[in-house]
Structure 1
Amino acid sequence: MLDQEAKALLEAVAKANRPAFEAIGAVAARKLYKETRSAVTPPAPDVELAANIAAPGPLGPIPLRYYRPAGAEPRAPLPVLVFYHGGGWVVGDLDTHDVVCRTLANEGQCAVVSVDYRMGPEHKFPAAVNDAFAALKWVQAEADHLHVDAARIAVGGDSAGGNLAAVMALMARDAGGPDLRLQLLIYPATDMAMDTASHKAFAEGHLLTRSSMTWFQMMYLNGAADVADWRASPLKAASLADLPPAHVIVAGNDPLRDEGEAYAKALQAAGGKAVFSEYPGSIHGFITMGKVLPQAGQALAESGAALRAAFAALLFH
C-alpha cells in the first residue's frame, strides 16, 4: 500500500508526462533531473558551513562540498560522513543532494563531505568507484586540515550512492583502512542482476522504472561481465565479514527494496551488525522529496540518530 502523499506524487508525475531519461540521453536527463528537484525539495536548513572544495583524484580534482552542522565550533574536530549522491551513476550532483547533506550534518551532529564522483556514460565503471575511494582516503589524510576526527568516519549514500558506500566499506576493509564507524545505505543498489520479486512488482508506475534502470546500467557498466563484479554488485562480494555496522533504509514500493533487505541479511549472516528499516508506503528516491513526502524527514532523522550512535560508540578491536 502506498502512502497517500506518495500516491499523490506518482499521480502528479504521471500527469506531467515528462520524457523518460532513457528517451532523452544523459546530458538532457541531468538537466531534467535538476529542474524537477525544486518541486519536491524542502527549504535548505542553515548549517555552520557549506563550502565547495576538491580532492585530488585519479583523473584530476574531484569536486566536494564540505558541511559543518549549525552551531559547530569552527575548529572542533567533528566526526564525518562521506556521502555519495544517488542518480543511477548518471544523474545527480552536489546541488541535487544539498538539502539531504545539510540535514544529515545537523541531524548527525557531524561534518559531511559530499562527493561529486565521475559518472557514465562519459566515465564508465569503475571510474565512480575509484573517485569515491580517492575522496574517502583524502578525507582521512586531511582530517586535521578539515577539522574532522580521522577515527570517526562513516560512509553513506542513497540508491547509486548507497551502492558506492557499500563498496567503499568493502574496499576500506581490504585496504586496511580507513576504519569506518558506519555504512548508511539508503535504498542501495546491491545486485545488478535486477531479478528480485520487488524488481518485478514495481517495474512500472513507481517512479523508478525497469527501463530506466536498464538504461542506467548501460550508461555506467562496460558490459555484462561487470554485473558480477563486486564493485558493481556488492552482494556478490566473496566475503561480507569484518565490515562496519550498517544501517539500511528501504522504501516498500521500490524495485530496489528486496536487494536492500538481502544485503542487510547477508551482512548479519557474515557476523556483522546491520539494522534494516523499511518505510512500507514510500517509493524510491523519497529522502530527497521532503517538501511533499513527510517520510523523508523521518528517514533523515533516523539516519542522523544512527550516525550519532555510531560516532559515540566505543570501539574495541
Structure 2
Amino acid sequence: MPIDRFIHALIQWQAVDRPAPARTLTPAEVRRRYTDSAAHSRGTAPEPVAEVTDRMIDGQGGSFRVRTYLPVTDRGRLVTYLHGGGWMAGDVDTHDPVCRRVAGALDAVVVSVDYRRAPEHPFPVPLQDGIAAADWAAAAFPGRDHVIAGDSAGAGLALGISMHRRDRGEPGFAAQLLVYPPADPTMASESVRAYGTGYLAEADDLRWYYEQYVPDPAHRTHPAIDLLNADHRGLPPTVVGTAEFDGLRDEGVDLASRLAAAGVSVRHVPAPGLVHGYLLMAGVVPAASAALRDVLEAVERTLASVPTAT
C-alpha cells in the first residue's frame, strides 16, 4: 500500500530540513535528537497505569536503572522491555508511552530496562544488562507469564536474552515480542537497498550504530548479533513486527521464517504503510497506533495459547 500520509509529510519535511546524519554527530547529540523526536511524537494524555517506580539494579561492572509499571488491571503477566535507539540512544523516558500501552493492553507489569549504551558500553554490556534485568524482574514478580520484548536494537537484545536462557537451561519466557529487529549485521537484504535512504532510518546510520555497538568486526558473527544465523531451536513463541517501508523489513521477515523452520510458534505482524520506529509515532500517527495494537493483540493471542505460569 502507499506510505502513510503522515509519514510521507514527515519525510518531505525532513528532505527540506536536511538534518545531519547520525554518523556525523557525537553520541550526546544523537541521544538528544532521539529524545527530542520521541517527545514530539507523544500523545496528549499518557496511558494510565496504577504506579510507576524507578530503581537501580546491579549489572556486571556497574548499575543501571529499571522502570516498573504496575497495570490498572493485573492478569498475572510480566513484560521485560528493551528500548530501541541503535544501542546508543533511547531510554526509559523515550519509551514511556510504549511501555504504558503495553501494560494497559496486556494487563501486565512492565519492567523497562535503561541498559548502559554504546559506545561507552559496547557489546556485550547492553545484553548483559538485559539479562540481569530479566532475572531481576522474574525474582521481583514471581509466578507470572513472563514476556521478553523490545523494538529495533532492543528487539535484538530481547532475542539474545532468550537464547542465553535456553543455552544455560534456565526457565524460558512465555513469549517474546520482536518489533523491527536488526537481525543481519551485513545489512545485505533487498529492503535495505530499497528503503535504506529517504525513509527516516538511514542504512548508513544503521551500519554506524553497529560499529559503535560491536566495534570488533570479528564479534559480529556472535549469535546474539548475527541473529539470522543463530540456533533458533527451543525458543519461546514469538511475535515479529515489521514495517513495510523499513530497510530492516526483510531481516524481520526472514527471521520469522527461520524461527518457524526451527519449530518455534511465530506470528508475523506486518505494518503496511509504515517505517522503522513506528512505535514511537503511536501518539500522533493513527496507523502507528493501529500497528501497535496489532502486535499487542498478537502477543495476547500467543499468551492465550500457552500454559499459565505456576
TM-score of the pair, normalised by structure 2: 0.94
Sequence identity percentage: 32
Q: C-alpha displacement at 1:314, in angstroms?
A: 4.1
1 CA distance for matches of 2:161 and 2:16? 39
Equivalent residue letter for 1:66 = T
Deviation of 1:316 after TM superposition, in Å, equals 9.4
Deviation digits for residues 125-163 of structure 1, max 9, x if unmatched?
1111111111111111222xxxxx434101011000111
Contact 1:104 1:303 in 2 (8 A): no
1:50 alignment partner, SS class: strand
- Secondary structure at the aligned position of 2:177 is classed as strand
| 1:73-88 superposed matches below 5 A | 78-88=76-86
1:20 aligns with 2:21: yes
Write the distance in 1 (CA, Å) between the matches of 2:162 and 2:73.
30
Q: Is the 8 A contact 1:108 1:303 kept in 2?
A: no
The answer to whether the Cα contact below 8 Å between 1:140 and 1:178 also exists between their aligned partners in 2 is: no
Shift of 1:60: 2.1
**What is the distance in 1 between the residues matched to 2:306 and 2:90?**
35
1:191 aligns with 2:191: no
Q: Distance in 2 between matches of 1:312 and 1:34?
A: 35
Give the corresponding residue for 1:121.
Answer: 119
Query: In structure 1, what is the Cα distance between the partners aligned to 2:308 and 2:82?
Result: 28
Q: Residue 146 of structure 1 corresponds to which residue in structure 2?
A: none
Secondary structure of the corresponding residue to residue 32 of structure 1:
helix
Q: Which amino acid aligns with 2:207?
A: T
1:165 is matched with 158
C-alpha change, 1:67 and 1:250, in structure 2 (3 Å) is same
Q: Distance in 2 between matches of 1:5 and 1:22?
A: 26
Q: CA deviation at 1:300?
A: 2.1
Counterpart Cα distance in 2 of 1:111 and 1:16: 40
Pairing 1:89-100 to 2, within 5 Å after superposition: 89-100=87-98
Q: Which residue matches 2:105?
A: 107
Q: Provide Cα deviations, 1:144-192, integer angstroms capped at 9, x if missing partner.
A: xxxxx43410101100011111111111111222320111010011111
From 272, 282, 306, the counterpart of 1:280: 272
Question: Contact between 1:67 and 1:105, CA under 8 Å: does it hold in 2?
Answer: yes
One-letter amino acid of the structure 2 residue matched with residue 165 of structure 1: A
TM-superposition CA deviations, 1:204-261 (whole Å, max 9, x none): 1001111111211111112211221111122221x21111011001001001000000
In 1, the alpha carbon distance for the partners of 2:291 and 2:175 equals: 16
CA distance in structure 2 between the aligned counterparts of 1:298 and 1:111, rounded to whole angstroms = 22
**C-alpha distance in structure 1 between counterparts of 2:306 and 2:248, whole Å:** 33
1:103 aligned partner, one-letter code:
R
Aligned to 1:38, the other structure's residue is in SS state: helix
Query: Secondary structure of 2:40's match?
Result: coil
**CA–CA separation in structure 1 for the residues paired with 2:155 and 2:77:** 19
Q: Shift in Å at residue 8 of structure 1? A: 1.2
Instruction: Indicate whether 1:46 and 2:59 are aligned.
Output: no
Aligned to 1:297: 289
Aligned to 1:236: 229
CA distance in 1, matches of 2:296, 2:194: 31
Tell me, yes or no, if the aligned pair for 1:154 and 1:181 is still in contact at 8 Å.
yes
How many angstroms apart in 1 are the aligned matches of 2:86 and 2:281? 17
| SS state at 1:296 partner | helix
Q: 3-state DSSP class of the match of 2:264? A: coil
RMSD, aligned CA? 1.7
CA contact (8 A) 2:118 2:213 kept: yes
Q: Is the 8 A contact 1:229 1:236 kept in 2?
A: no
Whether the 8 Å contact between 1:163 and 1:232 is mirrored in structure 2 is yes
Counterpart among 53, 60, 63 of residue 61 in structure 1 = 63
The runs of 5 or more residues in structure 1 that have no matched partner are 144-148
Equivalent pair of 1:137/1:178 in contact (CA under 8 Å): no
Q: Distance in 2 between matches of 1:165 and 1:272?
A: 16
Partner of 1:251: 243
- Looking at structure 2, the residues matched to 254 and 88 of structure 1 have their Cα atoms a distance apart, in angstroms, of 14
Query: What number of residue pairs does the alignment pair up?
Result: 307
